[in-house]
Structure 1
Amino acid sequence: MHLNIQVNGQNFILHASGAIYWPEQEILLIADVHLGKVSHFRKYGSAVPLPAISSNFAKLDQLLKTFDPEHIVFLGDLFHSSLNNEWKLFEKWVWETDQQIHLVAGNHDIISPLKYEAIGIRIHSEIIIDEFQFTHHPQEDGAYFNFCGHIHPGYKMYGAGRQSLKLRCFFMRKRKMILPAFGEFTGNYFLKPIDGEKVFAITGKEVILIA
């Protein structure tokens, strides 16, 4: 289900949902949920199945049950665009959640910060804890190890023939970890690792390091 790695002497658990748990700080990291995207697509005629809306919340609930974190940090693009009927579902989920929720604002986060603050969510442009920096957009290598989203990283695995398998992945560079998109119907940007980069592919219910 998950894979443990160490960064700067700290443990980080890569979960098959696309989230990362930092046990030393009891922080759950999640990127690019894009709540409201399913409703947005359906509004404009796309045949997206309605159960896809509830699947995001079901995955979130399972993560809270698994790790019981003190804090949830959404690394941007929590909502896809403006308010729609998924906000009410999210608001209900927040009221039923015991954890402190933080949002590092991304380029899709256009809903007023006042709406988030009214339900107890703290808004940040970035979060820095010890040697780690948490942002939405990947940052240039600097003094901190950067956890980020935005890219929606994916990886293509090729078989002996011409067949290929497209997977979401965690993409790790020297001082950066890019989280996969957590949400349904978000798409992937396929990356090819070069020397020193690592791909942790999500295959069904497992996370595996690609050699």
Structure 2
Amino acid sequence: MAVTEARVAARVGATLGEGPVWDAARGCLWFVDIKGKKLHRFNPATAALTSADAPGEIGWALPADNGRLLCGLQSGLHWFDPDTRAFTFWRVVEPALPGNRLNDACTDAQGRVWFGSMDNSESAATGWFYRLDAGQIDRVGPGPVSITNGPAVSPAGDRIYFTDTIGRRIWVAPLHDDGSLGGAQPYLTFTGDEGYPDGSITDAEGNVWVGFFA
């Protein structure tokens, strides 16, 4: 496993920058400023940085095969068109939980989207994990928790990791070919002086990388 030195690629001044995802088709990196309500696009070949104003707090954005990006906002799921830079509302996820917002997401090799919600005040345990598959949204994994993070799928596609930030725990569950899950089990639990586990991702060797905040 190669380890390289981190360096600043672009100075954004984000209030709460999260969710970097590489868009191979466009050769760019998308990421969000949740509290700043912005979707950013960075081109490493030209160092160009562009931004679009989101219609609310935006937790994540994922490139889709229809040429648009699927985005998770406090109000629900939206589509973003990179050409017109316009957001189009698609559907509500948690109509009975207006104090929640969507937070963090990933895809698996079959194109399913795994994402979570959280209490926007970061106190009540009202957050859940969800699977979006062929237009159907189902609640999955551990919960409820105050702040969901991750999720992250193993490179083999046979496991998925869920992060309970306030609970300082990462869970792992077997992921089957049809998208169903086995029972989630504790994978890692962290102590108070280690901080709070935030976003997570897996690499090609199956290692789990986790960002922390104190």
The higher relative CO (CA closer than 8 Å, separation ≥ 6) is in 1
Q: Same fold (TM over 0.5)?
A: no
Normalised to the residue count of structure 1, the TM-score between the two structures is 0.28
